[in-house]
Amino acid sequence: MNQNRLEELLRLFVDGEISREEYDQLFDYIRLNPDDEHLNTAIDTVFSNSKKFSTINSEDRESIFQNIIRNKHFDSDNQDETDIDPKYSYRLWYQVGVAASIMILLTTGLFFYTNRSPVQQMAVKIIEPKAAVIAPGDDKAILTLSDGSEIILEDAKNGILANQAGVSIQKTSDGELLYSFSNSAKTVSPESNENVIYNKIETPVGGKYQVNLPDGSKVWLNSSSSLRFPALFNGNTREVELSGEAYFDVSKNKNKPFKVITKDQIVEVLGTQFNINSYSDEGPIKTTLIEGSVKIIYKDKVVLLSPGQQFRPMESAAKVIKADTEEVVAWKDGYFVFKNEDIQSIMRKLSRWYNVEVSYSGNIPDVGFGGNISRSKDISEVLDVLQLTDAIHFKVEGRRITVMR
């Protein structure tokens, strides 16, 4: 490949306009020709002319580039194609007006960081030569029935788990929880005072689970989350209570609104798809609409969202912003996606998914990380990707991770 073509492909990549075919062409060439003189010259030319990367000198660019392509993740022989979703594998995101950006190009994802405040380059390494593998989370949850009995779902066999008032609770071969009812199931009129039978599903740290509710609605629970719901939706509404994070795909029923009750707010829909993040350590609740419409009741306010919008109830004022839906729902699709995200926020997510404790030592640099990587990777691979930014390093002792300069 000649230098002009290399510069053209690199420029398309930097501008975020590269196609899938062009991306494959570029990085296949890079993997096969890491020491090509034309390649190094093209990289220096393109990134020198890019406002996003012009503050990085040639020597630093070359050092970083060689560090990347010699990393095991960049070796085509080590690629696991089943782990790569095309829609996540070659996207690059940039921020406007950053002081400096260093990109890390990986076949499993792409990472870069931006200095939010002046900091010097820092050496990075993971200190754990003989560390045990810390595996990712999996389908884990506890189902609590109306009588207080508990079922550990990952240990339960596939098939019928219980029957309640004509409602069958089943674990499917896909590891999902399915509620279904027969014609003999009890129905209660809206005016009835008869007690409703409630169930609760809780995912632990390092767990996730999908629930198929009796009305046909589907709920994906993220780690450290819970959903309380009736075994049968009687009356004129469908109400559930959420703690943590969940993605909802609500079955349409214009005569029976679906309500999600969280701390401080109620989300009401007739049938739509949306995500709610209500972790107590993540600040204000974030409700993001993917498809359809939702009504949010927050204190004395009623807010209507359109697809692609996110609502955040703030103490001073309610806030509706344009959402990055790809980033919001990445967890459901099996990926971590970070966009100019600080290390504390990233480590909270890793802590919940990998069931690890995180601590910090010294002054942690104020930098923003971006990129994506599969949630099916061991945590060592995630930390290995982060370390390539030369911004931080980690000390891993058992299930405790210390983040350091």
Q: What's the predicted TM-score (pTM) here?
A: 0.73
Q: Which CATH number fits domain 138-328: 2.60.120.1440, 3.60.110.10, 3.40.640.10, 3.90.79.10?
A: 2.60.120.1440
Which is it for strands 245-249 and 218-221: parallel, antiparallel or unpaired?
A: antiparallel
Residues of the chain with CATH 2.60.120.1440: 138-328
Q: Is the pLDDT of residue 176 over 70?
A: yes
Q: What is the mean pLDDT of residues 96-113?
A: 33
Burial class (CB in 10 A: 0-12, 13-18, 19+), 32: exposed
53 CA to centre of own chain? 27
How confident is the prediction for the chain on average, in pLDDT?
A: 78
The Cα–Cα gap between 303 and 309 comes to: 11
**Residues in Cβ contact with 157 at an 8 Å cutoff, skipping those fewer than 6 apart:** 171
The Cα–Cα gap between 7 and 4 comes to: 5
Task: At 92, list the tokens.
Answer: 């690059």
Please state, as a whole number, how many other Cβ atoms lie within 10 Å of the Cβ of residue 64: 19
Task: At 235, list the tokens.
Answer: 């009356």
Q: pLDDT tens digits for 306-348?
A: 999 999 987 667 789 999 998 999 999 999 988 888 899 999 9
Q: pLDDT tens digits for 385-401?
A: 887 766 788 999 999 99
Q: pLDDT tens digits for 138-161?
A: 999 999 999 999 999 999 999 999
In the prediction, which pLDDT does 14 show?
A: 65
Reported confidence tier of residue 187, pLDDT bands at 50, 70, 90: low
